[in-house]
Amino acid sequence: MKIELTENAKFIIDRLQSCGYECYAVGGCVRDSLRGITPHDWDFTTSALPDEIESAFSDCKTADIGKRYGTIAVILDGKPYEITTYRVDGGYSDSRHPDEVSFSGRLSDDLARRDFTVNAMAYNDRDGLVDLYCGRSDLGFGVIRCVGEPEQRFCEDALRILRALRFAATLGFSIEQKTAEAILKLRAQLNGIAAERIRDELLRLLCGEKVDFVLRSYRAVIAVILPELKGTFDFEQHSIHHNRDVYRHTVASVRNIEPDPLLRVTMLFHDIGKPLSQTVDEKGVCHYKNHPKIGAAMTAEILRRLCLPNDFIDDVCELIRFHDERFRPDAVLLKKYLKLLGEEKMKMLYKIQRADILAQSSYMREEKLRNLGAVYAELERIIESGECYCLRMLAVNGADLLHLGYRSGAVIGEMLDTLLNKVITGELPNEKEALLSFAQGGIDKA
């Protein structure tokens, strides 16, 4: 079995071997190479101790990124390559790092501490593939299976529960029965895991191709990390527009949008406000009038708990607030939205509404999609035409108004906004002379 190592990977392995140590590429890079996919990074495992790794690469730039845990990065062509000493891990009482690690001289110890069989293979050109846990066979059958006793492995580090789901979603693999049983049994242990670790795995899970399968089959695990979603489980919508409960609709909508973390997170939470906003009219029909606003507030809280950056949270919440907006292919209306939300968000809202419609019942689907297509075409026309919808595009600016005799910044801001609105509605042309002449009338206030 031969794996195509990159020049830098060969250099690292050769260097450590020529110093008398063992060294192998290990983990994700071996798994991905065997799947015929170019690895996005290469990790190495070695019999050399951290100090010995540093001396072996004394002529290279290195970085201590976790020497206590045995890891040194060697920087080649500006890229870090992680090299870790063979390790046996102790317990994980803080659920973040092993409490104690002891270094080992045996590759087999290092492979035994790894999470899943497909991630527990090592390779170098001298020894070929080292596969002590039938990882290659599991890779061939598309199976995620714990190395060792699943229950014990999840008790050591409960994050592995979410990692199993992440790999199932991204690789499109099934989860072996005993591993799956242990996941369900021990899922509550995820409560003890640091939010940042949950966040990183969750975002990757959401961007997986088989995200819908995982979110549906393991919703009991999702309920542990995102208990606010529980209200959507089996919540029937009683609406002609829907043939799925809120959670199943949500899952379908996640799958319908491209695998971008911002868009996938937005879809995951876009209807989370529905259960709390339901009203029933005299005919027995259900409405969810405030659900975007309620949902955005709930989502902000969840994303803060998961330690996502503020910009990301603001973007998701704004998209959720506007996800149900009724757009029409009307230039004035769309320019008002472009002014409010900007070009990028409007294009995202198009994708979001499309994913949403495709996850609804077929009732009026063609009409909804036709309208949305016309909205998008009109948006593109406006953007390409260069017609004015924001201050940056207005034919006058603050300096022009100062020149005219305006003095106060607040009044200048107000007048620019008035001019922009009048240009958008077509009451004024976007021409300097006409705008200044209108502004002249407001000069007294200045």
For residue 176, the partner it binds in ligand ATP, Mg ion, none, with Cβ less than 5 to 8 A by kind, is none
For residue 119, the partner it binds in Mg ion, ligand ATP, none, with Cβ less than 5 to 8 A by kind, is ligand ATP
Query: Binding string to ligand ATP for residues 22 to 41, with x set by CB under 6 A, is what?
Result: -----xx-------------
- Total residues belonging to the chain: 446
Residue among 39 and 275 whose Cβ is closer to ligand ATP? 39
Phi, psi dihedral angles at 394 (to 5 degrees): -70, 145
Out of 43, 138, 271, 315, name the contact with ligand ATP by CB under 6 A: 43
Q: Does 115 bind ligand ATP (CB under 6 A)?
A: yes
Number of residues counted as binding ligand ATP (CB under 6 A): 10
Query: Binding string to ligand ATP for residues 147 to 166, with x set by CB under 6 A, is what?
Result: ----------x-xx------
Q: Does 119 bind ligand ATP (CB under 6 A)?
A: yes
Out of 8, 11, 28, 400, name the contact with Mg ion by CB under 5 A: 28
The span of 21-29, 31-39, 159-167, 183-191 binding Mg ion (CB under 5 A) equals 21-29
Residue among 28 and 231 whose Cβ is closer to Mg ion? 28
Number of residues counted as binding Mg ion (CB under 5 A): 1
The span of 114-122, 134-142, 294-302, 343-351 binding ligand ATP (CB under 6 A) equals 114-122
Which DSSP helix (H) or strand (E) runs through 42?
none
Which DSSP helix (H) or strand (E) runs through 415?
helix 409-425
Q: Please, what's the b/e burial string for 233-256 (b: 16 or more CB within 10 A of its CB; e: otherwise)?
A: bebebeeeebebebbbbbbbbbbb
Which DSSP helix (H) or strand (E) runs through 392?
none
Residue among 154 and 247 whose Cβ is closer to ligand ATP? 154
Report how far residue 315's alpha carbon sits from residue 416's, in angstroms, rounded to the nearest whole number: 26
Report how far residue 42's alpha carbon sits from residue 209's, in angstroms, rounded to the nearest whole number: 23
For residue 82, the partner it binds in Mg ion, ligand ATP, none, with Cβ less than 5 to 8 A by kind, is none
Report how far residue 279's alpha carbon sits from residue 399's, in angstroms, rounded to the nearest whole number: 51
Residue among 163 and 351 whose Cβ is closer to Mg ion? 163
What's the closest the beta carbon of residue 151 comes to ligand ATP, in angstroms? 15
The span of 22-30, 73-81, 111-119, 281-289 binding Mg ion (CB under 5 A) equals 22-30
Which DSSP helix (H) or strand (E) runs through 300?
helix 291-305
Handedness of CA 416, 420, 421, 426 (dihedral sign): positive
The span of 25-33, 92-100, 374-382, 383-391 binding Mg ion (CB under 5 A) equals 25-33
Report how far residue 436's alpha carbon sits from residue 251's, in angstroms, rounded to the nearest whole number: 52
Residue nearest to ligand ATP (CB): 28
Taking CA atoms, 49 is separated from 15, 42, 52, 110, in Å, by 14, 19, 5, 13
The span of 45-53, 115-123, 299-307, 410-418 binding ligand ATP (CB under 6 A) equals 115-123
On whether the CB atoms of residues 301 and 322 are closer than 8 A, the answer is no
Residue among 144 and 428 whose Cβ is closer to Mg ion? 144
What secondary structure does DSSP assign to 91-112, as a single string? --TTSSS-S-EEE-S-HHHHHH
On whether the CB atoms of residues 174 and 143 are closer than 8 A, the answer is yes
For residue 84, the partner it binds in Mg ion, ligand ATP, none, with Cβ less than 5 to 8 A by kind, is none
End-to-end, the C-alpha distance of the chain in Å comes to 80
Site residues, ligand ATP (CB under 6 A): 27-28, 43, 114-115, 119-120, 157, 159-160
Site residues, Mg ion (CB under 5 A): 28
